[in-house]
Chains A and B, each alone.
Chain A
Amino acid sequence: MRIAVVGVGTAGLMSLCHMLAHAPENTTVVSIYDPKIKILGIGESSTFGFPKILFQGTGFNLPEFANELDATAKFGVTYKGWRENDFESVIQPGDYALHFNNFKMKEFCFKRFKELWLDKFQTIEGTVLDVKNNGAYGSVYLENSEEKFDLIIDCRGYPTDYSDYNLIENMPVNHALVHMIPEPGTWNTTIHQATRNGWMFGIPLKTRQGWGYLYNDTITTREEAVEEIAEIFNTTPDKLDLREFPFKPYFAKTFFDGRILKNGNRALFFEPLEALSGFFYEMALRTVFDYYTGVMPGVDKVNDHLTTLSQNLENFYHYVYHGGSVHDTKFWQTVTKTSAEKLKNNKRWEDTVAEVNGCIVGNDLIEKPIGLWFTEKWIDWEDKFGYSYFKPHRGSIYFKRYP
């Protein structure tokens, strides 16, 4: 079997790790990338599936390789200013996730791939013009050649044309301003701090901190956003060195066509809340793996599964936002209304709620995956955000703060 992974951003490298570790013997996994293309890098947060996939593909472990990725352990997310009391969303104890510098990922992974997987791993450098399903095989068209593969994982980043994508209207934020602080981050969670105009993530790396201020440019002007950032960091706007990323949320109408799997930003983009994109990338890889092993019967099932997952992601974001924050501002007034509207009469969301309620049996919970989370975790969200979608229950454990 011959597998290509096109692109070397985080999703591309995750795809390489997954395929190198799990593809059958005699498979060749080829990384195809254009060294001239810069990856999009801020300093990333992840779910616990990420260090696991990195371990499987590269032998990564935190004590040995933290410096190579500037990485710190992540035990959860700290929500500040979303409710009167700040709270944590905790990763189930026993496992950690990572904060890491994704500019350093390719170099680290390639070095390890070569050491660990020898000839199973190959690289082709060049400008990719197109990828195409030719029925019996998939082709990657480079400037001077065509390469044929059994499976192509397309991680080339944002699509150039959105005709085959669902563009999501009325998502709460669409613009990020990134502020780096060249000092080590000494905390062990990803900070999600609600602001007047949206929210801000804070990522601790070993050598620096990455802060991303997210807002909606149809509600808030850049000047207003910059002013609040300056206020938060106790400085003046002219002293901020901000990088800017406007984005639009979307997900593919077709993720997989039997030969080509879209992954990473090629497949989907929402926003960085809870690092759920990485979770999607991992699930896309598992789903296609299940397709090849016969567990997921048919291409349509793969697409149905990933579409459902995308819709669950979209609904979860609205679930988080629709209760607002401690800020009574134009942004929060607008998004609480639009997000509540999105959840209203939303069949998938109603199914999710019904399924969670079905798992609340007296004082017990039937633990199972429902949408993005297990039952317990839904109960946690409900308690912390102060919502009342679910039946009376015994309470959460993940975030619980005992007196």
Chain B
Amino acid sequence: MKIAVLGVGTAGIMSLCHTLKWICPEGSTVTSIYDPSVAILGIGETSQPNFVKSLFEGADFNFLIDAHELDATIKLGASYKKWRDTDFDMPMEAPAYGIHFNNFKLRDFCFKRFKEKWGSKFSIIEGKVDKAVSKKSHAEVVVNGRSYSFDYVIDCRGYPPDLTDYTVLDDFTVNHCLVNIIEKPGTWNSSINQATTHGWMFGIPLTTRQGWGYLYNDKITTREEAVGEIQSLFADPNPTLKEFTFKSYYANTFFDGRILKNGNRAFFFEPAEGMAGFFYDTTLRYFYDFVSGQTNVDVLNENLSRTANDIENFIYFLYHGGSTFNSKFWNITKEKCTKKLRVKSAHRWRMTLLNIKKAIAHPELNISTDETGRWSKDLWIRWADNLGYDYFKEKE
């Protein structure tokens, strides 16, 4: 079997780790195709335990010995500040941990390991991808005018050039990020999610620096207002800021039988709870099911659409109770997210709630997290308790 992975951002590297370890039978090859002149999008990333496991399986990464290679720190959960009167933590279920890491270093580290670990199974083609198209019996990738044939291609080339074949969430929560890098080590062990007047801010600790991302909605808040709050939060009148605007979307078709979209090519929401990494991992697992004959293209697409819907609903769930700020952003967003969860079309959310309640009332049924909106019933209860929601009260 011949597999190509296009792109070497975090999703591309995860896809390489996963396919090298799991998908290829004897004699198979995995080819990384990327354009070295394309800069990856990097801030300092947070991850879930599955990322650590994937990196271990594909690149022999182990935190104890290799943390310095990725500036990595351990992540034991997320700390929510100013979302409610009392700050709270959402810890990972012991004994699992994630890491915070420097994704600018990820490619070099992994490529070195891939070559040593997987030998000729792993290869690299550098160049600009002119096109990637599905044929009946294979997928064709044209790189710098030269055509290559693969059984499957995982497309992780980042933001789609056009969003025609995507579901775009026009009226989502935040759509703009200002990143402030502090050149001091981060000494805490959780991802900080701090509510602000105009949205929220993540704080990621790396061994050499801290990455802070101030998220806001540019339809509600001006850049000047956002910068003003950053200046105040960091007591710095002249912060050096990097700027990212983004749309929230997910693909209508993730997989056509030959080409699988992953990473930002498949899905982009905002960074709440590092759910993007979870989505990438889920995509790869469903792909494994497909390649091993356990599912078909339609089911794979349905499952990924449901996963995207679940993440979307979770983000509404998180926001719809507001924060400690009584501001324009929070008033608008609270109302918007509450509506999203209540409208007639929110069928998936109603099913999720029903299944969570069923899982609470009947733990012996072992209802899977596919049915309970991707979190276990215990974590949903914890979310609800911390956020002061009463969705599950009567069943506790």
Q: Do A and B come from one complex?
A: yes
Interface residues of A (CB under 8 A from B): 24-25, 48, 50-52, 54-55, 59-64, 73, 75-76, 88, 90, 92-98, 188-189, 397-402
Q: Known interface pairs A63-B190, A64-B89. Does A75 touch B94 (Cβ–Cβ under 8 Å)?
A: no
A55 touches B62 (CB 8 A): no
Interface of A is mostly: loop
A53 to B319, CA, bound (A): 33
Find chain B residues with CB under 8 A from A73 CB.
Answer: 74, 76, 97
Size of chain B's interface in residues, with CB distance under 8 A?
Answer: 32
Check if A55 sits within 8 Å of B94, measured CB to CB.
yes
Write out the residue numbers on chain B whose beta carbons fall within 8 Å of the beta carbon of A402: 60, 112-113, 116
Which residues 282-308 of B have a CB within 8 angstroms of A? none
Which of chain B's residues have a CB closer than 8 A to the CB of A51? 94-95
Most chain A CB neighbours (cut-off 10 Å) among B63, B89, B189: B63
Whether B91 and A61, one on each chain, are in contact in the complex, defined by CB atoms closer than 8 angstroms, is yes
Contacts of A400 in B (CB 8 A): 60
A52 CB contact (under 8 Å) in B74, B91, B94:
B94
Q: How far is the CB of A133 from chain B (nearest CB, A)?
A: 29
B148 cross-chain contacts in A, Cβ below 8 A: none
Known: A93-B63, A401-B65; 6 extra A-B contacts, CB below 8 A, are A52-B94, A63-B77, A63-B91, A90-B65, A93-B52, A402-B60
Does B77 lie within 8 Å of A61, measured CB to CB?
yes
Does B61 touch A at the CB level, under 8 Å? Answer: yes
Contacts of A98 in B (CB 8 A): 95
Query: For residue B49, which residues in chain A have a CB less than 8 angstroms away from its CB?
Result: 94-95
How far is the CB of A53 from the nearest CB of chain B, in Å? 9
Asked whether B85 is an interface residue with its Cβ less than 8 Å from the other chain, the reply is no
Interface residues of B in 154-190 (CB under 8 A from A): 189-190
Say which residue of A59, A76, A96 sits within 8 Å of B97 (CB atoms).
A96
Question: What separation, in Å, do the CA atoms of A400 and B53 have in the docked complex?
Answer: 16
Q: Are A93 and B77 in contact (CB under 8 A)?
A: no
Q: B77-89 vs A: 1/0 string, CB under 8 Å? A: 1010000000001
Whether A75 pairs with B64 at a CB distance below 8 angstroms is yes
Residues A48 and B64 in contact, CB atoms below 8 Å apart:
no
A48 and B95: CB pair below 8 A? yes
Contact A55 B64 (CB under 8 A): no
What per-residue 1/0 map shows which CB atoms of B18-45 lie under 8 Å from chain A? 0000000000000000000000000000
Q: By the criterion CB–CB under 8 Å, are A90 and B91 in contact? A: no
B61 touches A55 (CB 8 A): no
B62 to A97, Cβ gap below 8 A? no
Question: A97 touching B95 by the CB < 8 A rule?
Answer: yes
Q: Which residues of B contact A90 (CB under 8 A)?
A: 62, 64-65
Hey, which chain A residues are within 8 Å of B95, CB to CB? 48, 50-52, 55, 95-98
Q: Are A61 and B113 in contact (CB under 8 A)?
A: no
Chain A neighbourhood of B364, CB < 8 A: 24-25
A105 to B: closest C-beta gap in Å: 15
Residue of chain A at shortest CB distance from B49: A94
B11 to chain A minimum Cβ distance, whole angstroms, is 18
Query: In the complex, A36 Cα to B12 Cα: how many Å?
Result: 60
A94–B89 touching, CB < 8 Å: no
What are 6 sample pairs from A and B whose C-beta atoms fall under 8 A apart? A50-B95, A52-B95, A61-B94, A62-B76, A75-B64, A76-B64
- In the complex, what's the smallest C-beta–C-beta distance from B64 to chain A, in angstroms? 4
- List the A side residues contacting B79 at CB < 8 Å: 63
Closest to B97 in A: A96
Whether A60 lies near B94 (C-beta < 8 A) is yes
Say whether B61 contacts A93, CB under 8 Å.
Answer: yes
CB distance from B73 to the nearest CB of A (A): 12
